[in-house]
Structure 1
Amino acid sequence: MTNSQNKIFKNLPDALAVINQWRAAGDKIVFTNGCFDILHLGHVDYLEKARQLGNKLVLGLNTDSSICRLKGPERPLQDEMSRARIMASLLFVDMVILFAEDTPYELIAAIQPDILVKGDDYAIENIVGHDIVMKNGGTVKTIELVKGYSTTRIVEKIKQQIKS
């Protein structure tokens, strides 16, 4: 098994065992989440900045069924294991945990990250799990997004080019 595959967890207890080892070693745990259907510059910039906020970056990745419920029957474009492997291959992502729920609330409650991060298109009070993290003395931060980059925009551009 390659190094990137070792970073992917479908089983929460196994993931928590690793996170607890990191925490015992004094590492600050950063958590973020998303679909990451087509990796683009905006994702890379965002995740790199998120990782700089702590020692370990844990990424909650929506499963295929979760994305389909959230974004419709045409999504995701890539299956969950392809997306997980791509995300795990990034140097600054330390762990990928798949979750099937519509939000990562239960995952955040289990992990208890030191820092919860989302893009600046969210107000802190609207970030899922902000209440859990703040109640436990953690911080919630937003990161400025690179303008003009989104999976939806890429998909629309492809559709336009197919039509013309």
Structure 2
Amino acid sequence: MKAHRLDSLLVTQGGDGMTLIPRHGTARHFPAHAREVYDVTGAGDTVIATLATALGGGMELESAVDLAGKAAAIVVGRVGTAAVTLEDLARWEQAERPLFLSSADKLMEEDRLRARIAQWREEGRRIVFTNGCFDILHSGHVQYLEQAADLGDALVVGVNSDDSVRRLKGAGRPVNVLQDRMRLLAGLAAVDAVVAFDEDTPQRLICELQPDVLVKGADYSVEEVVGRDCAGEVVLIDFVDGKSTTRIIERMRAAGDD
């Protein structure tokens, strides 16, 4: 890779999917999406064309590879040379991940979540985990969670219990009780499961779930991320400047004093 000045190498493996090998970092395997195979003609060309189009449109590399795999799966499910449209991809996405899932269906106890994750893994899905208090959900949270979801196929969000938030943030917190905070998170399309934990950190929960990707804000260093030894990899995401629960609470209090 160094000799050819490659940043990444994508290896297609037919029915075994594709493997993305970065020059720096950990290789990631993308399982094949095909449900039925009728004709493999044009599958490789479809991968290249979709990947180039997605990257040219500004999509992140891993998301583009996943999209290319889905496009190839559509092509091999048809007889002869076939083209893939945006409508084809939209229908595929809807079939893989229902357009609407009740927020109540995403609220899980740990036992149910472990069973759901086992099912996702059997389907070849990549599990992403992040956590926080999410006391007052704001646009910065939404952007952060959408970016986290793009790193895999199923996003699990761990939420501090009311007692945990109180110990970490002090008297007067949380503003919103646990069930309200969880329900709001579950209402986001990017989120697949929400689970509570009562400890000050999610260390135990992370080590039980063993996520493929552990996501935290970029105000941490990788070495500071709790649970990093129990995850496949750690990814740090920048927060949106000027967006925080603490600032919202401060503005509300200041407005109340006027």
Query: TM-score, with normalisation over the residues of structure 1?
Result: 0.94
1:153 aligns with 2:247: yes
> Secondary structure at 1:142's aligned position in 2?
strand
Decide which of 189, 194, 201 is 1:96's aligned counterpart: 194
Counterpart position of 1:6: 105
Counterpart position of 1:31: 129
> Secondary structure at 1:53's aligned position in 2?
coil
| TM alignment of 1:82-161, pairs within 5 A | 82-133=180-231, 138-161=232-255
Counterpart position of 2:141: 43
CA distance in 2, matches of 1:154, 1:66: 20
Query: TM-score, with normalisation over the residues of structure 2?
Result: 0.60
Residue by residue, what CA displacement relative to the aligned partner does 1:14-58 show, whole Å, maximum 9, x if unpaired?
Answer: 110001100110000000000101111110000000000000000
RMSD, aligned CA: 0.9
Give runs of ≥4 in structure 1 deviating > 4 Å: none
Contact kept, 8 Å, 2:155 with 2:190, in 1: the verdict is: yes
For this pair of structures, how many residues does the alignment match? 158
* Distance apart, 1:77 and its partner CA: 0.4
Q: Which has the higher contact order (CA 8 A, sep 6+)?
A: 1
Given residue 71 of structure 1, which amino acid in structure 2 is its aligned partner? Answer: K
Given residue 49 of structure 1, which amino acid in structure 2 is its aligned partner? Answer: Q
CA distance in 2, matches of 1:95, 1:116: 15
Contact kept, 8 Å, 2:126 with 2:154, in 1: the verdict is: yes
CA distance in 2, matches of 1:37, 1:124: 24
* Distance apart, 1:163 and its partner CA: 1.3
CA distance in 2, matches of 1:14, 1:73: 32
Given residue 104 of structure 1, which amino acid in structure 2 is its aligned partner? Answer: P
Contact kept, 8 Å, 2:148 with 2:215, in 1: the verdict is: yes
> Secondary structure at 1:6's aligned position in 2?
helix
Please list every run of 5 or more consecutive structure 1 residues that lacks an aligned counterpart in the other structure: none
> Secondary structure at 2:131's aligned position in 1?
strand
Who wins on radius of gyration, i.e. which is larger?
Answer: 2
